[in-house]
Amino acid sequence: MSSIESAYENLGQKLFIRMEQFPERRLFGGAISTTLPLRFEDVSNIREVPDHQEVFVDPARDERKPNI
């Protein structure tokens, strides 16, 4: 395997790991989508969120993604 092939293989593995950590999330019933860290939880699973908002929180930190 050449060094270029090896570099592409390593890059592919890194991209795969990154995609696992930042899965695609469907918002507003699938009208749009985004990627967020896996650790962020959908607040609508915890409490009621108005239909015009999508809210995610990181339960391990006092860190919030802005309302979308």
What DSSP line would sit under 24-49, residue for residue?
EEEEGGGTEEEE--TT-EEGGGTS--
Q: Are 29 and 15 in contact (CB under 8 A)?
A: no
User: What does the pLDDT average to over 41-63?
Assistant: 87
pLDDT at residue 17 tops 80? no
Q: Where are the domains of the chain?
A: 24-68
Structure tokens at 28: 């507003």
pLDDT at residue 13 tops 80? no
State the CB neighbour count (10 A cutoff) for residue 61: 9
pLDDT at 61: 76
pLDDT at 26: 94
